Structures are given as C-alpha cells and as structure tokens.
Structure 1
Amino acid sequence: MSELLTGWTSPDRALALPVTVAIPLLGIAALLLVRRNPNAREAASLLSGVALVVAVLGLWPVAGDDLRFELWTWLPGLSLEFALEPLGLLFATVAAVLWPVTTVFAAGYLRADGEHAQTRFFSFFALTIAAAMWIALSGNLVTLFIGYEIMTLATWPLVAHKGGADARRGARTYLVVLLTTSVGLLLPAIVWTWLLAGSTEFRPGGLLTGHAGTGVLTVLFALYLFGIGKAALMPVHRWLPAAMVAPTPVSALLHAVAVVKAGVFTVLKVAVYVFGLDTLGESGASRPVMWVAAFTVLAAAVVALRSDNLKRRLAYSTVSQLAYIVLAATLARDVALAGGALHMVTHAVGKITLFLCAGAIYVTAKKTKVSELDGLGRAMPWTFGAFLVATVSIVGLPPAGGMWSKWLLLLGTVDAEQFVMLAVLLVGSVLSLGYLMPITVRAFFRPPHGPLTHGEAHPAIAGPLTLTALGCVALFFAADAVLAPLTGILELP
C-alpha cells in the first residue's frame, strides 16, 4: 500500500485517511453477514484487523506529507476534517496492531468462558477501533470530539456485556463520568478555543499562541485535561475501575488498544497543537495540573499496592501510568513529550499483556485475586513468564521498551528543572515494582494452595499474550524507530 500511495498525488493520497477509518466499519458488515457461523465471524474480525494494520503501516512512508481530507465545513474555522500527523500516526499504529492480537484472544476467551452475544461483542469492538482511527486522524478539535464521543458510546455496551446488576452499575458509572466530563468541560474548552483563535485546527506551534494571557490559558488547560476523562486523571478516574466488570478482552481494549490511549493521545495533541510547548512553558499554565498528575501517579499506585483483586490492581496501575503521560504534557519540554508519546506505546503493549494474562488466569484457573495465585506459575509458565516481561516494561527496566520511555520522562523533568517531579516518577516506578513483581514471585516461588488440576491456557489465549510480551522486548530495540516521526514536531537530542 505504501508503494501505491507514494505514486499518487497528494489529494489522492489523502483518500487513504477516510478509507482507514472505514475499514473496521466494513469489517462489521462482513461479520454481520456471517454471524451464524462462529468461525467465519471470528475470521471476518481478524481479517479486518489485518487489513487495518496494512493500511496504517502504509501511511508511515508518507507521514511527512501534509495529507488532509475535508468531509464537511459548517462555519469558518469549523469543519469535519482528517489529517495525518506524527502523534496521530503513532496512536493509529498502536490501535491497529493490537486489534487483531486482541481479536484472537477474545475468540478463545469468549468460547472458553461461554459468553453470550458474541456477534454483538465483536461488532462494537470493531466500532471502537473505527472511533480510534477517527480520533487519531482528526484534523481539528471538532472532528476529534465527535470521534471521542462515538468511542464512549461504542464501548458502553461492551462494559455492560455480562449483564446483571454489577455490569449495569459499572457501565452506568462509565457512561456518566465520561459524558459529563466531555460535555461539561471538554466541549466548552473547544468552543472557548474557537472564540479566541477563530479556528479549531491543530496547528504546529500552538493554535492559541498569542491569543490569550496566562490566566485564560491556565483555566483553559485545566478544562481540557479534566474534560479529557479518558486520560483518567484524578478525581475523574472512577470510570476506569468501575469498568472492570467487563470481560477481560474489553479490559484490554479499554486499557491498551483504544480508550485510555485515546485519552492520553488527546492530552498530548492538545499540548502540542492547541497550546504549543513554548506557550505552555513560558506562561506556566500547565503547572497547577502538573501537581494533580503527580498526585495521581502516587495515589493510584498506592491503591494498586493495596488491592487484592487482580483486575482492580491492574486498573489502578493504569491510572498511575497514564498520569506519567499527562505529567509529560505539563512539563512542556520536547524530550518529555517524546517520553510521553513513547510511553503511550510501551504502556499499551505492556498493559495489554498484563490483562491478557489476567484473562488467561481467570478462564483457565478461575482465579481473580492476587492472594490465590501461589504456585500457578508451575502450571502456567508461559502466562506468568509473559506477565513478568510486561512487569519489567511497566516498571521501566531493561531489556523492555518501558525503560526508554521512563528515561526520557526523567530527562524531561531535569530539562524543566522540576526535581520534585523527578522524585515522583522514581517513587512511582518503585511502587509499580511493589504491586506487580510479587504476582510472579507468588506464582513461581510459593507452593500452591492445593493440587494443580489444569495446565497452560489454550493456545488461542496463550499465543497472543506471548506475542505481546515479545513486543515489550522488541520495543527496547525499536524505540528510535517509534520516535522517528516525532522529529518533525519536536526538537529531540
């Protein structure tokens, strides 16, 4: 596809953007046509995922081109438009590559657990990926906001998938928090931006540069960051642990493939293209939120440390790790933004591995608590080996990709002369070691509570988590390639 695109003129190449968004929607149509055949339905989902990977990877060779595709213009400065830029390409790649992996896992998990309404499940899963592509390729704030809301509505049925009082309660919290923050805070911030700048277009150097003073920028930045509820900054994080009532493949979707990554991606994009790093740094508008992000890093890690339920521990780990990326945006330094963007990728691969492992443990051993995992590594060595590799990446140790994202974040705090934040990041990493490492220690080195009557998870379940664990290691060697597109918008050493 890349060779095909490079042979086209720029307007023709821009057609690739709406086509990329449409691929998951075409996948929904295909799986609905074969919904009565489970094998064909899952094959349609998988082939759609592979097609999306090909389409997104085909955009990399033309990442430096100014590709734009306008769908509709309402008013001057208000349009529905897709555009290709480096941060969006990174997010689209993460979502696209992890979709087929999660599809294989979901097929094995749903069958093993006897879940109902699997056609509905895969349909809304694909719709969520389409929303992720829409967000990643948005050319302005209005387009992004529409995709953001579509994603919330598309994932709500997935959170409520199991049915029952707990699922309905968790889904209600999920929907109310995300809609309240987006409509009550994010939408007013977008309208205010349009009134100030006369446009909502993402602009290198910052759309708001020269259009507002420090006080306005400070309030507006806070509106954006708390309005982007999917970034799970405290205290608007409650939707994330509430959503853990969903099946584990949905948890993986929320934490790694789409939802929270859409949140932190939007935070980074707003910092770079709406405010501009120079404007944020010189005005100090991001500093109040910086302290909130620091508090979230530590407070969520402490909650994770005290949680015995495995999915709850992983959920609060996500809240803490997302705050690293928000903190990167508030530091307003190029190297910190690079670390935040890389952490978006490394955390996605590491956290999806952890959730796939949690799902494998549940469907194979029927265990949900950390205290129940003693000795299980002897029966499930691949699962807990993958968990260990992902732990190393999340903590930020070699040889996993998380080491480089954490290193760049630390350099960012030094560059910004924010040494308290340097300490926060270091303490947060020590706490992450404390809430993740004991899980594999228990599994491999403690005697089991009773006889182990099961073996390793089914290959359709163990295979994907092994693959994503290898991805954690691959990112250790491929960090420069991941960061390469960002050189066009950031000054990196």
Structure 2
Amino acid sequence: MSWSMLLPLLVVASSLVPGCLIFLLREDRVRTRSVLNLAGAVLKVVLVAAMVWGVSQGETFQLSYPLLPGISFGLNAAPFSLLFVTLSAVLWLFTTIYAMGYLKGSPQRSRFFGFFSLCVSATAGIALAANLLTFLIFYEMLTLTTYPLVVHRGTEQALRGGRIYLAYTVLGGAILLLAIAWLQTTAGTLEFVEGGFAGSLAAPQHAALRWIFALLVVGFGIKAALVPLHSWLPQAMVAPAPVSALLHAVAVVKAGAFGIVRVIYDVFGVEFCIELGVTQPLAIAAAITILYGSLRALFQDNLKRRLAFSTISQVSYIVLGAAVLGPTATIGGTVHLVHQGIMKITLFFAAGNLAETLGVQKVSEMDGVGWRMPGTMASFTIAALGMIGLPPMAGFISKWYLASGALEAGQTWVVGVLLASSALNALYFLPILYAAWFHPPRADWPKSADRGRFETRLTLLLPPMATAAATLLAGLFAQLPFSPLDWARFIVAREYPP
C-alpha cells in the first residue's frame, strides 16, 4: 500500500487505536491514559498537516476498497474534506487537554475517553469519505459513539437526553440509508465528484432526484439541527462540558451541515440544483433556523441551553451559504465551518469552567464573575463578540462574505436575515458580558473548587484562551496563506472556476 493510500487511513486510525487501548485500562492508570490521549491527538494533527501540505503541492491521497459491484469503501483528501478534518484534529487536541482537567478524579474515565477517541475517528472518517456509503458508515459510527458520552453521568436527566438524541439520530440514519439506496439504484454510483454526478441523469428521473435530495437533507438536517429537526440538541446539554464542546464545535452538528454541503456540490452539483429548484427551499429553512435559534436563546437562563440554541442558529449559516449558490456566499458558509467551531468551543469551554470551578450554570448567577475568573471570561467575551459578528473577530469575516454573496446572487432578503440574527446575537450575549464585567461580584458562589495559583486548573484555563486567540487571529490575519479564509477560497474556486 502506497503512502498516498495509507495516509488517510492513518488519520482515522490515529484516534481509533488509542481509543480501543484506553478501554482496556484500569481507572487508576491515569498516566498511561493521558499519554495515549495526547499521543493520538498530536499524531492526528501531524498527519493532517502532512496531508494539507501534500494537497497544496498537488499530491493526491486516496484509498478505495471494493465491497460490491459499483460500491466501495473509500477515503479521499479533497480540499473541503481537509478543511473539516483539520478543524476536528486541532480542536480535538484542545478538547482532550480540557477533558483531562475537567474529569480529573471522576469515575469511568477509561470508558469516557475510549468513546471520546472513537467519536473523533468517526468525524475524521466523515470528513475524508470519498462516497456516500463510506460517509454513512462513519455517520452511524458517530451516532453510536457519542451516545455513551451524552449519558456519561448516568442521571435520569442524562439518560432521557440520551434517549431523545438516539431516537432522532437513528431516525436520521434510516432516512439517509433509504435515500442512498434509492440514489444508487437511480444513478448507479455514490462517489463524490466535483460538480456532482446526478445532473447527467435523464429528465424523467428528475422527479425522483428531487425526493432523494429532500431525504438526504432531512437525514443530514437532523444532526445539523435544522428546524423542526432540532429538539434533540438542547436535551443533549446534560452531557459534560467537553462533550457539549465536541457536539457543537467539532462532531455531530458540524457533520450534518458538512453532509448537506457535500450533497449540493459533490452529488447534485450547483447547476443541477438550480435546475431542480431545490436550493431556495433549503435557504428558507436555514434562514428560519437561524432566526428561531436566536429567538429561543434569548429566553434561556441556563447558560449551556442558551449556547445550544445559539448553535442551532449559527450552524445554519453554513447551510445558508451553500444554498444561496454563489462563490462569495459559499466562501462565507465554508469558512464559517471553521470560525463557528473555534468560537463555539471557546464558549463551551468557558461555560464548563464556570460550572466546574464556581458552580455557576445560569446567566442569572454570573454577576461579577469576570473579576473572579478573568481569563475564562475574557475568552468568553472574545468568542461572544465573534458570534455577534463584530470586527476583527472571525465571525465578522463569515458574515461579511455571506452578506456580500447574497447581494451578488440577488438574494437581498438574506442580508436582512443576517442583520436580524446579529441583533439577536447581541441581545442574548451582551447582557451576559455586562453582568460579568460591570455588576458587583457575588459574596459567595454556589461552589468553590480548589483552583491552585490561578482562577482554575491550567488544563481548564489554557484551552479556551488558546481558541479565543484563534478566534481573534482568524479575523485579523484572514488574508494570509493557509488561513481558513484562504483555504475556503481555494475550495470554492474549484466549484466555481473562472
């Protein structure tokens, strides 16, 4: 097997193998478990970096193993795949460090970190999938490996949230299986192709293809939390903070949005989507989700639930960018895949710090918390301002390209949606920041954990500070080579050649 075939497999295996080994460890083997966690996370980043460099130099990394006539298991390092797998690899490293601190002294850590690693393996497989069947295999693996993480605490509330999550996502997988089987019998292939393959089918099959497109969007839309398929996500917030960060920034919701974008560009193709008339309804669904999520976030006192509804809104920016169908809007949606990830993971890291260190879980309990935990709240502030879309944060770059692209495509109503969403973002984030920095601190906190010389353990403090810095740097240096924006332009240039 050549290096170009082996490398995509190694990227998936770099977390799969440590995860399997961690399951075998006793709870008291803390050092061994930490070494396996960190070694796998660092190795994945190195392997992905090698792949990104190779692709930028014109190399091809592809693996294909035939399963049935016309059906294969395949991995392929396409440019869009690399954007997603890079995000998952880098944020997994930060989340691993954070989880090691967050779960210090907790029971069942071997089980947690075993499934944690398998979850990231599934996400890497989704990112590198060369066809819809491979995508489905890893997509279902993601469902099964995240369920134990959601129910990790074992409380009745956690078990209920897990049951709701499993019911929604298993249904989504069944719908996807139906759509993929139908597409295989109709088109005879499931391979992702730049520009799509469905457009080559005869006109009498177009009615069936519209239904297949709808089924694929519903199947992926459940994990992407499109309204009205979103209800599982707030319920899943009973999971520990590292899991919430993983669900919202790296794995589950991002996998759904990634799937929808691949259906538009690599299954149906932009021009054929326009011909079928399927993208305008999708854009409207994304716009409704953006506004609905922001409105619901306004009325949540529980901090993690407020962030959950914010995710429902923010992830649909990615779908909206693809559905508007224009190069500039697509750049905005594509780069938001990364920008939303680094901003959202920062917010969940900070929320976890507040809960773990001070017992603060509600917005109404955050008076003066910025002066008690300045590093945590400075990180939260940067990410929140980025979500609102203020320059020079990463979120501003995403929204600027989305709005500019909408105007180029003649979809001026999208600009109104973006402005309304930003206003709502401000309404549910700015009161938090004002209370944290300008209200007098509480005399006592619900909980007072041992913090050592700093505001909290360094393994909890450094990850959000690092991702907050990335939120700022991704905006300030957006024009540099290999920035998320530069890579998004490279991806879109292949979809919209001059």
Letter in 1 for 2:69: L
2: CA distance, partners of 1:89 / 1:367: 37
- Are the equivalent residues in 2 in contact too, given 1:346–1:405 (CA < 8 A)? yes
Q: So what's the TM-score if we normalise by structure 1?
A: 0.93
- Are the equivalent residues in 1 in contact too, given 2:4–2:60 (CA < 8 A)? no
- What whole-Å deviation, never above 9, does each CA across 1:292-334 have from its counterpart, x for those lacking one? 1111110111000111100000000000011111112221222
1: CA distance, partners of 2:46 / 2:60: 20
Query: What secondary structure sits across from 1:14 in the alignment?
Result: helix
2: CA distance, partners of 1:370 / 1:326: 29
Q: Are positions 1:481 and 2:486 aligned together?
A: yes
Residue 138 of structure 1: aligned partner:
129
Q: Are positions 1:158 and 2:163 aligned together?
A: no
With over 3 angstroms needed to count, the CA separation of the structure-2 counterparts of 1:285 and 1:253, relative to structure 1, is same
Query: What secondary structure sits across from 1:313 in the alignment?
Result: helix
Q: Percent identity?
A: 40
Q: Are positions 1:301 and 2:294 aligned together?
A: yes
Residue 491 of structure 1: aligned partner:
496
Deviation at residue 107 of structure 1 after TM alignment: 0.9
Letter in 1 for 2:53: P
Q: How many residues align?
A: 480
- After TM superposition, the structure 1 stretch with the greater mean CA deviation from structure 2, 266-275 or 476-485, is 476-485
Map 1:7-406 to 2 at 5 A: 11-32=2-23, 34-35=25-26, 36-63=28-55, 64-76=58-70, 78-111=71-104, 114-183=105-174, 185-211=175-201, 213=203, 215-228=207-220, 229-406=222-399
Query: What secondary structure sits across from 2:200 in the alignment?
Result: coil
Q: Which runs of 5+ in 1 are unaligned?
A: 1-9
1: CA distance, partners of 2:484 / 2:459: 29
- Are the equivalent residues in 2 in contact too, given 1:11–1:67 (CA < 8 A)? no
Residue 480 of structure 2: aligned partner:
none
2: CA distance, partners of 1:49 / 1:14: 21
Residue 7 of structure 1: aligned partner:
none
1: CA distance, partners of 2:130 / 2:259: 12
Q: So what's the TM-score if we normalise by structure 2?
A: 0.93
Query: What secondary structure sits across from 1:135 in the alignment?
Result: helix
Residue 457 of structure 2: aligned partner:
458
- After TM superposition, the structure 1 stretch with the greater mean CA deviation from structure 2, 220-229 or 82-91, is 220-229
- Are the equivalent residues in 2 in contact too, given 1:215–1:285 (CA < 8 A)? no
1: CA distance, partners of 2:225 / 2:313: 9
Deviation at residue 33 of structure 1 after TM alignment: 5.5
2: CA distance, partners of 1:222 / 1:72: 28
- What whole-Å deviation, never above 9, does each CA across 1:150-196 have from its counterpart, x for those lacking one? 0000000000000021111000000000111220x222221222122
Letter in 1 for 2:64: E
- After TM superposition, the structure 1 stretch with the greater mean CA deviation from structure 2, 201-210 or 50-59, is 201-210
- What whole-Å deviation, never above 9, does each CA across 1:391-431 have from its counterpart, x for those lacking one? 12212221211111111111221122111122111111111
- Are the equivalent residues in 1 in contact too, given 2:194–2:495 (CA < 8 A)? no
Map 1:410-449 to 2 at 5 A: 410-449=403-442
Deviation at residue 11 of structure 1 after TM alignment: 4.5
- After TM superposition, the structure 1 stretch with the greater mean CA deviation from structure 2, 22-31 or 390-399, is 22-31
1: CA distance, partners of 2:437 / 2:266: 47
- Are the equivalent residues in 2 in contact too, given 1:301–1:320 (CA < 8 A)? yes
1: CA distance, partners of 2:142 / 2:23: 20
1: CA distance, partners of 2:438 / 2:497: 43
Query: What secondary structure sits across from 2:121 in the alignment?
Result: helix
Deviation at residue 390 of structure 1 after TM alignment: 0.5
Letter in 1 for 2:54: V
Query: What secondary structure sits across from 1:194 in the alignment?
Result: helix
1: CA distance, partners of 2:74 / 2:32: 35
Residue 470 of structure 2: aligned partner:
471
With over 3 angstroms needed to count, the CA separation of the structure-2 counterparts of 1:109 and 1:319, relative to structure 1, is same
- What whole-Å deviation, never above 9, does each CA across 1:330-385 have from its counterpart, x for those lacking one? 21222222211100100000000000000000011101100110011111010110
2: CA distance, partners of 1:191 / 1:287: 25
Query: What secondary structure sits across from 1:70 in the alignment?
Result: strand
- After TM superposition, the structure 1 stretch with the greater mean CA deviation from structure 2, 24-33 or 321-330, is 24-33
1: CA distance, partners of 2:494 / 2:136: 22
2: CA distance, partners of 1:358 / 1:331: 34
- Are the equivalent residues in 1 in contact too, given 2:19–2:116 (CA < 8 A)? no
Deviation at residue 72 of structure 1 after TM alignment: 2.9
With over 3 angstroms needed to count, the CA separation of the structure-2 counterparts of 1:487 and 1:287, relative to structure 1, is closer
- Are the equivalent residues in 2 in contact too, given 1:268–1:337 (CA < 8 A)? no
- Are the equivalent residues in 1 in contact too, given 2:123–2:251 (CA < 8 A)? yes
Letter in 1 for 2:488: L
With over 3 angstroms needed to count, the CA separation of the structure-2 counterparts of 1:212 and 1:349, relative to structure 1, is farther
2: CA distance, partners of 1:156 / 1:257: 15
2: CA distance, partners of 1:485 / 1:422: 24
With over 3 angstroms needed to count, the CA separation of the structure-2 counterparts of 1:41 and 1:381, relative to structure 1, is same
- What whole-Å deviation, never above 9, does each CA across 1:266-303 have from its counterpart, x for those lacking one? 11111110111121123321112221111111011100
Deviation at residue 32 of structure 1 after TM alignment: 4.3
2: CA distance, partners of 1:171 / 1:480: 36
